[in-house]
Amino acid sequence: MIAERQAIGLPFLLPMTEAPPPLVRVDVSAWRGGFAPGARTLPEEVAVALTYDRVTFAVMMASPCDLHDFAVGFSLSERIIDAPAEITDFEVLVLPMGIECRMTLAPDRRDALAARRRRIAGPVGCGLCGIDSLSEAVRPPAAVVSHLVVTPAFIEEALAKLPGLQPLNRESRAVHAAAFAVPGQELIVREDVGRHNALDKLIGAVALSGQSGGVGIVLLTSRVSIELIQKTARLGAGVIVAVSVPSARAVRDAAAAGITLVAVARADGFEVFTGPERLSD
């Protein structure tokens, strides 16, 4: 999982011949009152092209792992498909400058995509880069219908388990995670250098597992912004729990979608911004 690289003098832009590991161990010169040799584990990021029927739709910088989940989750959250089965063929190709997730769509989905094709190309952490329409960027989230009611104890237990299920972040301290918690089941967790990518990977993993988003809650190790509300609404989960503060727009959109938004979640408690009816003592 971890590759060894010499940090000084290494040409990092060498053409790729195989998919890189998600973590890289590099040498550093550390100052602690004096210089001394050291090492640090860093998350890798790779240009990942998402293509449909040999045409590129998006290029995202992402962690090179769980790419099937990423491709399916991105396709669902971007409304390119409604179900994983509408991707009739999937292949990962390692190219000299990055990785291609090559997908073939069912004919009706192919025709629908052709009618609304647009390109997105953005850096990590910018989920709206490249969107060429303001109305698309701030589209209303889907209405969520979920009858799941959870307790604070369930939320606290899920949050307590999450760090132990983040191997990339445990090694690097620089990777986001998104998790799906269902009462009585183990957490599904996906990690990525980009918080939007982590959630897309999770959406793909949940969809491929055959579960409905309404049976569980989404946990995020990042702040909550509008696009994360849109993606969670697309999944159909009724509760988001985040460790950081949401944007004001995210709170408004969560309320509009019928999502319970819990944030500033710590070991000693959390704050409920919308939808308190899904929480029970």
Residue pair 238/275 in contact (Cβ under 8 Å)? The answer is yes
Question: Is residue 101 annotated as part of the catalytic site, yes or no?
Answer: no
CB 261 within 8 A of CB 274: yes
Please tell me which residue in 65, 101, 126, 129 is annotated as part of the active site: 126
H or E element that contains 198: helix 195-209
C-alpha–C-alpha distance, residues 259 and 145, integer Å? 9
Written as one letter, the residue type at 155 is I
Q: What is the DSSP string of 229-255?
A: HHHHHHHT-SEEEESSPBPHHHHHHHH
- CA-CA-CA-CA torsion sign (192, 198, 202, 205): negative
105-110 LR contacts (CB < 8 Å, sep 24+): 105/52, 105/53, 105/80, 105/81, 109/80, 109/81, 110/52, 110/53
Count of CB atoms situated within 10 Å of the CB of 46: 20
Residue with structure tokens 């769980």? 66
Query: Do 93 and 100 meet the contact criterion of CB atoms below 8 Å apart?
Result: yes
User: What does DSSP say about strands 260-266 and 269-274: parallel, antiparallel, or unpaired?
Assistant: antiparallel
Annotated active-site positions, please? Answer: 126
